[in-house]
Amino acid sequence: MIKRILFSSIIAAAISVSASAQEPSVVFLDNVSVSPDQTVDMIIRNGKIQRIAAELQAPATARAMTGGGQWVTSGMFAPLTSLGLVEIGAEDSTDDRRAKDAKTSVSDMASDGFNPQSPIIDNTRVSGVTHAGIIGSASQNIFAGTGFIANMSGDFDSVEKDGAFIYVQLGSRGGKLAGGSRPAAISQLKNALSDAKTRMSSPDDGDALSRRDAAALSKAARGQMPMVIGANRASDLLRIIELRDEFGLDVIIAGGADAWMVADELKAAKMRLIIDPIANLPGSFDTVGARIDNPKLLAEAGVDFAFMSFSESTSHNVRILNQHAGNAVANGLSWERALAAVTTTPAKWFGVDVGSADQGADTFVVWDGDPLQVTSAPVMIVINGEEQPLISRQRELRDRYNPKREDTRAHKYR
């Protein structure tokens, strides 16, 4: 009996030594890039960048990630998406982006329909996107509701900033939603802003909004919350500047395909834009001036902008955001400006922390190569100090049905 106890103690001790030989909570990065012209050594402990220097000694228990070629960046921020609001676009029961027959609009809180455990969240996170601005679509008038910011951890408490912004649709689509014309859309917006600034006593005494919707618009109408306004045509962009100045709004333009035409005016007005860096086709009469070097021209004019892939699905294909930024570099934009457009720039606008590659950061992404290259992928993702799993339903299905997998069973039994 004594021999058994002694033997068990020896085994337990051996297992303990083996487990402590490598601490998963400590990671050592050797010669990792933090910019195109700077490489460092880095120690990550308990989900936080603990030390950065030109030459560091790897802790004896560290999980080493060596081999060269790695990069560390802030987490990517997708500023205008419908992530977690839709699973299958053709199935209404899984689509909470719009409510065509609703009597509410601005007061519709997108977070009430958010599913953080949607498989699309995992698909997005494993591509390096750590945060997103999420909103539905305008359907019965120019307002799409109130958006929020969430991290991509998939946790039920992943909403970091509820009531983060209001979305308004102008341009030709906004005109259709307002009754058929751009003047109608502008009038609807002006009336709604007036309603929001006036204390109403009954549910239906406003020109454009119910009392509840007017209350939801109140902060944005006073410039205390960002109002994201969708528009592409150059003349619409100039009109938005006038509206902002007239009502004292905090405006971010989404679209801006023709922005290069009025870059000087946008710069003078200190406007911020969310643009698609690969939008170069006249898909409508609103975008006849679209060109592939729009980001480069805006950067040369000094305009502040971020990237979003409007030419792709803003739910299922958000994961290719870094590839869009890479295309902007291929068409003349600087690498540094392109990376900022998918990380720190939009995060700053919405007051969100997407981390950095600096000492003390607890949100960051480690890549196996240049993050703006299509062949690169994350090898480590940390959000708020928690290392995230690099798995998704797509990857699990890929591995499960890989023809090279050593599994002789029929696919249906795997």
The per-residue pLDDT for range 327-350, each reduced to its tens digit, is 999 999 999 999 999 999 999 999
Cα distance between residue 216 and residue 192, in whole Å: 11
Has residue 2 got a pLDDT over 60?
no
Q: Tell me which H or E stretch contains 14.
A: helix 2-20
- Closest to 298 (Cα-Cα) out of 350, 246, 237, 352: 237
Place of tokens 């592409």: 232
- Closest to 374 (Cα-Cα) out of 413, 322, 332, 335: 322
SS3 212: helix
Predicted local distance difference test score (pLDDT) of residue 211: 85
DSSP 265-311: HHHHTT-EEEE-TT--S--STT-TT--TTHHHHHHHHT-EEEE--TT
Q: What is the DSSP letter of 68?
A: S
Has residue 375 got a pLDDT over 60?
yes
SS3 410: coil
Predicted local distance difference test score (pLDDT) of residue 354: 97
- pLDDT, tens digit (0-9, with 9 covering 90-100), for 289-340: 999 999 999 999 999 999 998 877 888 999 999 999 999 999 999 999 999 9
Cα distance between residue 254 and residue 231, in whole Å: 6
Half-sphere CA count of 268, side-chain side, radius 13 A: 9
Range of the domain at 94: 76-354
Has residue 216 got a pLDDT over 80?
yes
Predicted local distance difference test score (pLDDT) of residue 140: 83
pTM, two decimals, is 0.90
Has residue 13 got a pLDDT over 70?
no
Tokens coding 210: 């119910």
- pLDDT, tens digit (0-9, with 9 covering 90-100), for 157-173: 999 999 999 999 999 99
Other residues' Cβ atoms within 10 Å of the Cβ of residue 381: 24
SS3 211: helix
Tell me if 413 is assigned to some domain.
no
Place of tokens 């910019």: 35
Tell me if 337 is assigned to some domain.
yes
More confident residue, 63 or 184: 184
Predicted local distance difference test score (pLDDT) of residue 4: 39
Tell me if 297 is assigned to some domain.
yes
b/e 254-266 (16+ beta carbons within 10 angstroms → b): bbbbbbbbbbebb
Predicted local distance difference test score (pLDDT) of residue 204: 54
- Closest to 71 (Cα-Cα) out of 372, 368, 298: 368
Domains of the chain: total: 1
Tell me how far the alpha carbon of residue 410 is from its chain's centroid. 39
Tell me how far the alpha carbon of residue 288 is from its chain's centroid. 27
SS3 127: coil
- pLDDT, tens digit (0-9, with 9 covering 90-100), for 269-282: 999 999 999 999 99
Q: Do β-strands 62-65 and 71-73 pair in parallel, antiparallel, or remain unpaired?
A: unpaired
Tell me if 409 is assigned to some domain.
no
Contacts of 32 (CB under 8 A, 6+ apart): 39, 40, 41, 42, 70, 71, 72, 366
Tell me if 379 is assigned to some domain.
no
3-state secondary structure 237-275: HHHHHHHHHHHCCCEEEEECCCHHHHHHHHHHCCCEEEE
Q: Model confidence at 102, in pLDDT bands (50, 70, 90)? A: confident
**380-386: average pLDDT:** 97
Tell me if 50 is assigned to some domain.
no
With residues binned 3-state (H G I as helix, E B as strand, rest as coil), the percentages for the chain, rounded to 5, are 35, 25, 45
Predicted local distance difference test score (pLDDT) of residue 19: 40
Tell me if 104 is assigned to some domain.
yes
Cβ-contact 186, 180 below 8 angstroms: no
Q: Tell me which H or E stretch contains 213.
A: helix 211-221
Q: Give the range among 218-222, 245-249, 406-410 with minimum mean pLDDT.
A: 406-410
Has residue 94 got a pLDDT over 90?
no
- pLDDT, tens digit (0-9, with 9 covering 90-100), for 117-131: 999 999 999 999 999
Predicted local distance difference test score (pLDDT) of residue 356: 96
Predicted local distance difference test score (pLDDT) of residue 24: 62
Cα distance between residue 39 and residue 331, in whole Å: 26
Half-sphere CA count of 359, side-chain side, radius 13 A: 8
Q: Model confidence at 12, in pLDDT bands (50, 70, 90)? A: very low
Q: Which parts of 46-103 are beta strand (E)?
A: 48-53, 62-65, 71-73, 76-81
Cα distance between residue 174 and residue 137, in whole Å: 11
**6-17: average pLDDT:** 38
Q: Model confidence at 106, in pLDDT bands (50, 70, 90)? A: very high
Tell me if 69 is assigned to some domain.
no
Cα distance between residue 339 and residue 33, in whole Å: 14
Residue 278 Cα distances to 47, 310, 340, 362, 405, angstroms = 35, 9, 17, 32, 37
SS3 364: strand
Average predicted confidence (pLDDT) for the chain: 90
Has residue 18 got a pLDDT over 60?
no
Contacts of 289 (CB under 8 A, 6+ apart): 233, 234, 257, 258, 260, 261, 282
CATH number reported for the structural domain that contains residue 309 in this entry: 3.20.20.140
Q: Model confidence at 205, in pLDDT bands (50, 70, 90)? A: low
Q: What are phi and psi of 249, to 5 degrees?
A: -90, 160
